[in-house]
Structure 1
Amino acid sequence: MNTLFSEYPPAEKLRLFIQSYWTGDFNINREASFSQSVVPNGCVELIIHLSDFHCSLNKRVWCKSPDFTLLGVFTKPYEVKFSENVQVFGIRFYPDGIQNVFGVPPSVFFATYEDSVDVLGKSVQRFCTRIRELQSVNAQLQFANEFLTDQLGRHFLAHDYTHQAMSLIRKVAGEPDYQLLKYQIPISDRQLQREFKNRYGITISDYMRLSRMNAIQKYMDSSGSANLTQLSYDLNFFDQSHFIREFKTYVGITPGKFSRIRDRFIVNPAH
């Protein structure tokens, strides 16, 4: 094993907005050239590098990632390269979470990465620097909960129908039903579609598909194998071919091949 992940739940009042905190230890064996593909999960990642060793990401050219990296929502897998042992503390936000915690729409960094300080401001630089200084995960978690709760109090949007729509989609993950949104969100279909895309950079249909992919990945992680026929039936695909085609769209390869080379991927399905 060359990668080690641990996940931690956020404070109760943050759980509608933050999927998890996590720590990652990458390229533990210090291979000269180690890479993994990240499977999209529909979340925004704030990644705090805990040392001067960073991963490399591709934005037209391969570059060392910023100290405090902000990764937007992706709909395709992307590659991460490591040449040293890289240790990080991460915060996995739902897209509506980053909007409500920091007041920044994730559409401005959709399908790319940025320096979090450039996008979220100097207060995030001070926060990330302090996380880096703290010596224990428990201290990091406590400080993160306090800071992010304060930020949520400053930026929370009380009547945000796109947040309601995203929360509902996550609750019914694996059984996307657009009609359900139309009945429960009290604005017109066209307005909801427009505001959703403008704010998050992704369409409602694509977010539903990503939520269903999360359900697929959780099933595969828990079972250790993929019964494609059963998965296709349980998650309301038209047939097995439809399931395989959609899986390949978001992961880049077929489910069968993915099961065989699972260790080449970073998979963190949003709950």
Structure 2
Amino acid sequence: MCYYVWESQEAVEVALEVHSPPNGLGGMVFNYGDPYQVQLPNAKWENVPRSFIVGQFTKNYTLRLSGRPGMIGIAFRPAGLSNVLGVPMIAFTNLRIELKLVLGSEAAQVEQRILESKTSQQRITVLEEFLLKKLYNSSLKIDLEDYALASIVQQKGILSISQLSDELCISPRQLRRRFTEKVGISPKLFSRIKRFNYVSHLSTSTSGNWMDIVDEGGYYDQAHFIRDFYDFSGKKPSDFIHYYRTMAALVGA
């Protein structure tokens, strides 16, 4: 789990569109700045809730920011939200659900304290108190799904789910059912996303050639590599790298 803050003291004069591919993480987001929008599958735009829970995303999504953005979020490990909330994560897949619909008045209290806070550290303190209370009232336990998650993450998604189920002494069907309930997506899809995360990082942080990256990612051929890039980012690998570096330069500026 980690916290992240995204804000700007200066107004965004021209609406900024930010593309975000899936990352295998769940989260909570609290907006204390100007409202921002997300693009729907039908290409229309809608405002995101003031505070919300976000489940596993399986496709790239686009945010549009304007004015003075200000948000703080909690990025959870894949099963973290299920452990904290005690609810099946399949209900949150590809969705942003208002926090108050899940936590009721408790969400309103946290949201108000976030709005009243003046600094990032104050907001983090509010969230830590909130999470510690939730964890204290939860019944955490390490189970088979957590072991499966750890294996997939450790091996960067480059593994056989059938072999993994054999190692865990469970049928592939049972593993899929239990994993999907706790994480929100199947172990096979989660593995594909983690492999994409790994190779996309390689492609933007190294000067290696494409075939080296294809081989490092465990792909059978370049076609499968390109398919994963397009499925999860909506872009070809070269276009993804260009966009990533353009955004990095813009944010760095």
| Distance (Å, rounded) in 2 between the aligned partners of 1:172 and 1:108 | 27
Moved more, 96-105 or 193-202: 193-202
Counterpart in the other structure of 1:68:
51
1:182 counterpart = 2:165: yes
Q: Which amino acid letter does the alignment assign opposite residue 153 of structure 1? A: Y
| Pair 218,145 (structure 1): closer, same or farther in 2 beyond 3 Å | farther
Give the residue type in structure 2 aligned to 1:240: Q
Which residue number in structure 2 is paired with residue 196 of structure 1? 179
Equivalence for 1:211: 194
Counting only pairs closer than 5 Å after superposition, residues 96-245 of structure 1 correspond to structure 2 as: 96-223=79-206, 225=207, 227-245=209-227
Map Cα deviations across residues 54-79 of structure 1 (whole Å, 9 max, x no partner).
11123454221111022221111111
State which drifts further: 256-265 or 104-113: 256-265
Q: Check whether the contact 1:176–1:212 (CA below 8 A) recurs between aligned residues.
A: no
Q: Which stretch shows the higher mean deviation, 229-238 or 153-162?
A: 153-162
8 A Cα contact 1:27 1:34, kept in partner: no
The letter of the residue matching 1:92 is A
- Whether 1:253 and 2:235 are equivalent positions in the alignment is yes
How many angstroms apart in 2 are the aligned matches of 1:242 and 1:62?
Answer: 32
Q: Distance in 1 between matches of 2:9 and 2:37?
A: 12
Percent sequence identity over aligned pairs: 26
Q: If the length of structure 1 is used for normalisation, what is the TM-score?
A: 0.80
Equivalent in 17, 36, 40 of residue 55 of structure 1: 36
Unaligned runs of 5+ in 1: 1-17, 267-271
Aligned to 2:251: none
What are the superposed Cα offsets for residues 165-212 of structure 1, whole Å, 9 maximum, x if unpaired? 223211221423324522443433221111222343311110001111
Unpaired runs of at least 5, structure 2: 249-253
- Post-superposition offset of 1:39: 1.2
The two structures have a TM-score, normalised by structure 2, of 0.85
What count of residue pairs does the alignment treat as equivalent? 246
Q: 4+ residue stretches of structure 1 with deviation over 3 A?
A: 26-29, 58-61, 198-201, 263-266
Q: 1:25 to 1:176 in 2, by over 3 A?
A: farther
Aligned equivalents of 1:181, 1:204: Cα separation in 2: 10
Alpha-carbon displacement from aligned partner over 1:54-112 (angstroms, at most 9, x marks no partner): 11123454221111022221111111112322111011123311000111222112112
